Amino acid sequence: MSIYRSTFMKKSFVVAVSLAATFPAVAAETANNAFNPALSLILSGQASYFSKNPSSYSIPGFVLGDEAELGDEGLALSESEITLSSNVDDQFYGQFTVSIAPNNETSVEEAYLQTLDLPSGLTVRFGRLKSGIGYLNSQHAHTWDFTDAPLAYRALLNNQFADDGVRFTWLAPTDIFLELGSELFRGDAFPAANADHHGAGAYTVYGHMGGDVGVSHAWQAGLSHLEAHAQDREASELIFSGDNQINVADFVWKWSSNGNPKDRYFKFQAEYLWGSERGHYTDLGNIDVSHSGWYAQIVYQFIPRWRLGVRYDVVHSDLPSASFYGSVLDPAGVNSHRLSAMLDFSNSEFSRLRLQLNRDESSSEASNQVFLQYQMSLGAHGAHSF
């Protein structure tokens, strides 16, 4: 390094620090725009093996949305995802996520704006957004601890509930975390459908609480309610008009030695979903049925970079009435459940390789499933959400 260069650097350093000292707020603002907008790309793919043909997959007793399928066998891409995000100005934050499916189909996953300067702990988010119900629903699928969604999410929420709409949240001014939220959605996403003439076909209310216990433990619990109206919804080749109600209770507990998750940590997570469907299926008749499902999972990082996880999940639906006998809504006495185990390795915060084994008994015929998956993140640093 030349003398000139090092003197220059020293000078710039002193100037920068003095500037920061004189105009701290201005300096911070410049920093926020230095990488504006933040850009990140998620590359993901896997090799999958199914002992039973995945294209005939169904969960007896449930109609499934278009996302709730097993995916392709063999080597295949998962969705690639591009996210752009930034503070728009001092009042708004914006995020845009587009995903490209392996068949080259592009879809806007999320495109929302969020307020930054409302008083009294209020926040409004609007655009296309993943609903804040439950625990997993608002997270991007690539941050999940398992390759696939829990059965209850697959059967009741089409993997994840997201739609165009607006969310209001209020964060209580207390030491314990308490957030209440409510959302109004257009109503075009399963289990809602075709609500164009009504303007709003789904709404949610939810609350989340959380806190720490000592330095090493942290928890979060929540209760959510989703109400969705469907008009001529086509799913599993059946046409439905009516209402769906879904409730979610979620609980997460995390432990790490001294609160430092870098070396070892333990995570327990469970959600219980229950609800009902009331309305009319074309050709089959009126329906008033309740269904439910839950999962519980543990993930343990036993040495840095290596994690082990086990998940068990169950879904259950009642037989609506005799006229549904033999249709996909007939649970046919199947007690749908699945056991999964995974081992993953993260070389850094940006890369992950995962091996997952499923013993899937959600259909009438049991299936063994194996996934060997990669997930890589290029660009902006991901969020360490709880």
Partner 1 sequence: MNLLLRFFCLPIFLCLGFLCLGQAANAALNVFACEPEWGALAAELGGKNVNITIATTAQQDPHQIQARPSLIAKVRNANLVVCTGAELEVGWLPVLLQRGANPRVQPGQLGFLRQRISCNYWVCQND
Residues lying near partner 1 in the complex (CB under 8 A): 9, 12-13, 16-18, 20-21, 24-32, 34-35, 87, 90, 93, 114, 116-119, 121-123, 169-179, 208-212, 215, 218-220, 254, 258-262, 349, 381-386
Residue appearing with tokens 């075709």: 194
Rounded to the nearest whole angstrom, what is the least distance from the CB of residue 297 to partner 1 in the complex? 17
Lookup: tokens for 94: 């914006």
Rounded to the nearest whole angstrom, what is the least distance from the CB of residue 85 to partner 1 in the complex? 9
Local structure of 255: helix, strand or coil: strand
| 306-317 vs 38-50, strand pairing mode | unpaired
Please tell me the distance from the alpha carbon of residue 250 to that of residue 156, in angstroms, as a whole number: 15
Residue ranges with strand state E in 282-350: 285-303, 306-317, 336-348
Rounded to the nearest whole angstrom, what is the least distance from the CB of residue 182 to partner 1 in the complex? 15
CB 158 within 8 A of CB 190: yes
C-alpha distances out from residue 344 to 74, 138, 148, Å: 20, 22, 14
The closest of 305, 297, 212 to 264, measured between CA atoms, is 305
Rounded to the nearest whole angstrom, what is the least distance from the CB of residue 208 to partner 1 in the complex? 7
Please tell me the distance from the alpha carbon of residue 377 to that of residue 80, in angstroms, as a whole number: 10
Rounded to the nearest whole angstrom, what is the least distance from the CB of residue 262 to partner 1 in the complex? 4
Rounded to the nearest whole angstrom, what is the least distance from the CB of residue 90 to partner 1 in the complex? 6
Rounded to the nearest whole angstrom, what is the least distance from the CB of residue 103 to partner 1 in the complex? 33
Output 26 or 343, the one with its CB closest to partner 1.
26
Output 10 or 198, the one with its CB closest to partner 1.
10
CB 283 within 8 A of CB 329: no
For the chain, the first-to-last Cα distance in angstroms comes to 44
Output 100 or 223, the one with its CB closest to partner 1.
223
Please tell me the distance from the alpha carbon of residue 61 to that of residue 64, in angstroms, as a whole number: 10
The closest of 194, 115, 114, 129 to 161, measured between CA atoms, is 129
Rounded to the nearest whole angstrom, what is the least distance from the CB of residue 291 to partner 1 in the complex? 30
Cis before 37? omega within 30: yes
Output 7 or 107, the one with its CB closest to partner 1.
7
Output 262 or 280, the one with its CB closest to partner 1.
262
Output 124 or 366, the one with its CB closest to partner 1.
124
Output 121 or 127, the one with its CB closest to partner 1.
121
Output 260 or 368, the one with its CB closest to partner 1.
260
